[in-house]
Amino acid sequence: MDKIVRSNSNLLDKHYWSEHKGLSNLCNHLWKEYFHNDQLNKENQRHKGKSKPKNVFRNLLINLYIVWLEDEEKSVAVSMTKNSYKVNSRYNAIKISSKIIDMVHKLEKKQLIDTRQGSEQSGRVTRIRATTNLMKQFAAINFCMLEDLEPAYTIKELVVLNKKDEDDKKQELEYYDTYQTEKMRAELKSYNKLINESHIDIPTLKQPVITRTFWNPKKQKYQKIPVQITHQHKLLRRIFYRGSFDYGGRLHGAWWQGIGNDYRSQIYINGQPTVEADYSGLHIALLYGLKGQQPPKDPYTLDYNLEGFNKDEQRAVVKGLVLNSINASTEKSAFGAFRQKQSTGTREKKLKNQQLKLLLDTFCNEHPLIKDSICKDKGVELMHLDGEIAIKVVNHFTSLQIPVLTIFDSFIVEADKEEELKNVMKHAVNSSLGFKVNIKLEEGVTTPNHKLKPTLEYKRRLLKHQQWVQQLTL
């Protein structure tokens, strides 16, 4: 097989679990052969109530199996430092312990996995992948569906509080539950149960995977990563930032949040075409709303004419610049963030700070009511507001058992629910801040979505999911 590629990997998921007979038999067989009389197992007998090594091993095996199903060349990214495994954490329900490190070493020694050594200091954790020997045993499992895994929403913490450490790495923080966190968790469990039982896919795909290009600021280059359009990548959690429940709170995690509009416009839900509607200029609207004023219909069209750009091109620059400025704490960082997101070789990428400052100053002059929020790090506060608005939309449709997909400030539903979606979105803002916001349909969504020609492979995936859902009711 080819060398393990770091970018083609999934981070170890500590919440994968299944009681599937074939997987259980393989786990028992390998455990008996390699670990039953191992010191790892003996040590645990003196520490009852803590991590069970066999559970740790099963989770590791499932992780290896999942990536093998997705792509034989794919690997699992596993931290090899003990402090990465906090057994009593709310983010570690299965209690995966640092014993997993010794298991990785032993599986490598027994030639059941290949490894690519990582460097914890640089953030490049070790990658592991099943060898041909283990793959043959996977193939004999007949573990045909990812749906056979325990639903992640029943195991994984759905309300996350995080904070960046000194090395700018996100750390999940422990917290005490309150009425609000318990309410959020209950809402998310109901929502994720509905999403879990809904078939969400792109019918034009033969294989449920697409390649996304993204800019890596650390490496200063574009990279390509695969996005798996699968059942295991649908979980949504509310994530709060900077160690405070006042910052953030958006819903994160689903595969449709990591793809462009060209693919999102092709999404089918339960075999039906969809439509996407979004709030026009939501964060600008929220800033006006916090001042008690109705927002303008189009805040991004300015009188100033940027040299070499027509009216529409300038508007696009202004929109990107202003949104970056709301999230930034200084003008310099806002300008840098704007350029970083532009494609190499474009005129937008070459815009100087002086040109961008003229645009930003013009925007502030035309919107004096909110200029005190520009370059003042307001983004995380506004994300808290749009997270509250989004959950209102989600809760409405969940109560009706209608799946709705959220992409922060836009939503996707089956096409025949278009008018209801727009009305609910308007009500959600109105009830939160007392004003109306423009809502638009994404261009090119409605018409092409109805004309798509589903592949045979998609039809098979849909049928398999429908059969699985039927079994749940038996």
Q: Are residues 343 and 450 in the same domain?
A: no
Q: Say if residue 282 is in the same domain as residue 223.
A: yes
pLDDT at 144 over 70: no
Domain boundaries, position 96: 1-150
- Please name the amino acid found at residue 313: E
Tokens of 62: 């499932």
Q: State pLDDT tens for residues 31-88.
A: 998 887 766 665 554 544 466 899 999 999 999 999 998 889 999 999 999 888 999 9
Q: What burial class does residue 239 get, using C-beta atoms within 10 Å of its C-beta: 0-12 exposed, 13-18 middle, 19+ buried? A: buried
Same domain, 465 and 422: yes
- pLDDT value, residue 297: 82
pLDDT bin (cut points 50, 70, 90) of residue 448 is: very low
User: Do 230 and 306 lie in a common domain?
Assistant: no
| Domain termination residue (choose one: 150, 171, 193) | 150
* Rounded percentage of the chain residues whose pLDDT exceeds 90: 60
Residues 272 and 421 in one domain: yes
What's the pLDDT at 451?
Answer: 73
When divided into structural domains, the chain yields a total of 3
Q: Lowest mean pLDDT: which of 104-108, 114-118, 219-223, 331-335?
A: 219-223
Quick one: 219 and 272 in the same domain? Answer: yes
Residue type, 417: K
Q: Does one domain contain both 323 and 249?
A: no
Mark which of 342, 366, 390 sits at the end of a domain: 366
210 phi and psi angles, rounded to 5 deg: -130, 160
Do residue 194 and residue 338 come from a single domain?
no
Per-residue pLDDT at 437 exceeds 80 = no
Same domain, 191 and 140: no
Dihedral in degrees, nearest 10, Cα atoms 448, 261, 298, 340? -150
Task: Band the pLDDT of 303: cuts 50, 70, 90.
Answer: confident
**Is the distance from CB of 277 to CB of 414 less than 8 angstroms?**
no
Of 396, 434, 393, 433, the closest CA to residue 278 belongs to 393
Domain termination site, one of 87, 116, 150: 150
Looking at the structure, tell me whether residues 378 and 438 fall in a common domain. Answer: yes
Task: Identify whether the C-beta of residue 4 lies closer than 8 Å to the C-beta of residue 127.
Answer: yes
Please say whether the beta carbons of 341 and 216 come within 8 A: no
334 and 193 inside one domain: no
Average of per-residue pLDDT values in the chain? 88
Same domain? For 379 and 359 the reply is: no
pLDDT digits (tens, 9 = 90+) for 46-55: 544 466 899 9
Q: Chain-centre distance of CA 47, in angstroms? A: 36
Q: In this model, does residue 218 exceed pLDDT 70?
A: no
Kindly report each contact of residues 421-429 with a partner whose C-beta sits within 8 Å and lies 24 or more positions away, as own/partner: 421/275, 421/277, 421/393, 421/397, 422/277, 424/392, 424/393, 424/396, 424/397, 425/277, 425/279, 425/393, 427/392, 428/389, 428/390, 428/392, 428/393, 428/396, 429/279, 429/285, 429/289, 429/389
Q: Quick check: 394 pLDDT over 90?
A: yes
Q: Which residues contact 408 (CB under 8 A, 6 or more apart)?
A: 250, 251, 257, 386, 390
